Structure 1
Amino acid sequence: MPVKIILATLIFLTGFSGCAAYDIWTYAQTSELVKADAAIVLGTAVWGDEPSPVLRERINHSIWLYENDYVDKIIFTGGKTNGSELAEAVVSKNYAMAHGIPEENIYIEDRSMVTIENFRFVSEIAELYELSDFLVVSDPLHMKRAIQMAEDTGFEAFTSPTTTSEYNSLTSIVPFFFREVGAYVAYTLSFGD
């Protein structure tokens, strides 16, 4: 491969990654508190039968949305990851029910292993229960990629990041931020393949 092509590719990827980093950082501040049919809570690690601190804050935010009449239903997502015995969605549902959310107002998607699958599998629930618009709940730095994936899957989606993210110190924010930049760039460049 000629040196000029390699150099041009590196310049493009550096520039694109810089723009993506700026978009992710600024979009993290966006919160669209609108009335929607349901909240889609993106899953993440569980610790045994308990949500990890990161997942717990996502669930707590969805409970707040429900209690303040922003949503009528909550959809928890996530399968069995990292060798866990229970799916992330099941652990989330159990936690929400223990905190007063009626079981009939909770749906779960317990097959997904990655974010794009969250939305692909939730689309089946949306169709079954005739849900048309959604508040997407995750950590602020995850929202840009999550909303892009939701829209690419065909959802009318609005951002509702947690206000109490566990990613709240320099040592936790920096790795998460760079991971998101890489994941967003990879998704954007490969979408549609």
Structure 2
Amino acid sequence: MGIFAFILIIIFISGLLLWRDRRNFIAGIIFAASVINLILLSVLIGASMLANSSNIGKLSFLVFILLGMVGIPAFAGFSLIVNTYIMQTREGKSLTAKLSLIFGLNFLFMLLSGFALLFLRAQLGILTGVLLTVLGIDVTFTFIFVCYLFYSFIYQMIPVKGNIDYIITLGAGVRSEKVSPLLKARLDKALEYYHKQKELVKMVVSGGQGPDEPVSEAFAMAKYLGTQKVPNQKIIKEDRSTTTFENMRFSKQKIEQDWKKETPPRVIFSTNNYHVLRGAIYARKAGLNANGVGSPTSFYFLPSALIREFIALLVIYKWFTGLILVGWIGFGSLLMFVS
């Protein structure tokens, strides 16, 4: 019962931090990891109790362990590899399209490395420490990725309530004055909230002009909003930003210039569902009090997009990433020294 109490305390503390600001990425990962571990521990205890009750229970427990340790990683690996083929067929060959392939092969690598450590550690000698270090880093970041997916889902399930003063739509690449399907989805999501209280809300379209873009993303978005009967005086164009962080920082400046009341404005931003959590983290870093809403994304596109977002978050939190790497490298080095 002690471990249950400890996990519940961690859930409570991280939950309080998220209640204050649900854009706290580290608290979100800790919360998700604690909930996942609580569920796994409960299932494991229940399965072990069943195993002690009968021979059928023991067989069921063995099947459960094998499925968890072998079946799920193998299924995930092969699914991601197949998804790469679908992604390349529909989106073309690119590094982004290959991310799900790399992650799928990663699952298979974890399985093979796990078996090598389990059955061949005596023959591997000093390589045991190296393999354990690599596998430890791999498993840790894979588990954090699962926690990220879990918390990203929770974040987007929390509804936006109350009046809204400004809706920021984050830009995406344009090839003409017409918005792309991905950018249209972001704008349509923003319009859902706009039409609920159109008398009060202003739309902020945020995105500059890249070297390969004929117009700024803000211009294309404002033009689309005009076709959707949004009055020009309700549209604020921010056309300098080139990154998500700049989207938030420059949009904040535009809102501060426009806002005339003493009370702080209520702001949300719209982007694609896979990008919401990172956008919220950048809003926090920019000092913009805004949470995000996400538009749907094609299912085949999600794995690579989410992996890319996760890598970007690891870059943002370099100290967190570095701490994990240093910890495992230190442990592996100590193991090799002792052996």
Mapped contact 2:164–2:201 kept (Cα < 8 A): yes
Gaps of at least 5 residues in structure 2 are: 1-128, 321-339
How many Å apart are 1:82 and its aligned residue?
5.9
Task: Give the counterpart of 2:292 among 155, 159, 165.
Answer: 159
Mapped contact 1:36–1:72 kept (Cα < 8 A): yes
Partner of 1:177: 306
Rate the CA distance shift 1:142–1:30 in 2: closer, same or farther, 3 A.
farther
**Structure 1, residues 44-98: CA drift from partner, whole Å, max 9, x if none?**
1213111110100111122222121075100001111360110111100001011
Partner of 1:10: 137
In 2: Cα distance, 1:138 partner to 1:34 partner:
20
**SS of equivalent to 1:135:** strand
Matching of residues 26-105 of structure 1 within 5 Å: 26-69=154-197, 72-81=201-210, 83-105=212-234
Rate the CA distance shift 1:111–1:168 in 2: closer, same or farther, 3 A.
same
How many Å apart are 1:109 and its aligned residue?
0.9
Gaps of at least 5 residues in structure 1 are: none
Mapped contact 1:40–1:137 kept (Cα < 8 A): yes
**Structure 1, residues 108-133: CA drift from partner, whole Å, max 9, x if none?**
11111111110111121021112622
In 1: Cα distance, 2:210 partner to 2:157 partner:
29
**SS of equivalent to 1:19:** helix
Mapped contact 1:133–1:155 kept (Cα < 8 A): no
Structure 1 or 2: more helix by fraction: 2
Mapped contact 1:20–1:181 kept (Cα < 8 A): yes
In 2: Cα distance, 1:190 partner to 1:108 partner:
35
Partner of 2:40: none
Rate the CA distance shift 1:97–1:146 in 2: closer, same or farther, 3 A.
same
Matched, 1:136 2:263: no
| TM-score normalised according to structure 2 size | 0.49
Q: Percent identity?
A: 22
Mapped contact 2:249–2:288 kept (Cα < 8 A): no
| TM-score normalised according to structure 1 size | 0.83
Partner of 2:254: 125
Higher RCO (CA < 8 A, seq sep 6+): 1
RMSD: 2.5
Mapped contact 1:24–1:144 kept (Cα < 8 A): yes
In 1: Cα distance, 2:318 partner to 2:156 partner:
21
How many Å apart are 1:34 and its aligned residue?
3.3
**SS of equivalent to 1:34:** coil
In 1: Cα distance, 2:236 partner to 2:147 partner:
36
Mapped contact 1:28–1:142 kept (Cα < 8 A): no
What code does the residue aligned with 1:159 have? G
Aligned length, in residue pairs: 184
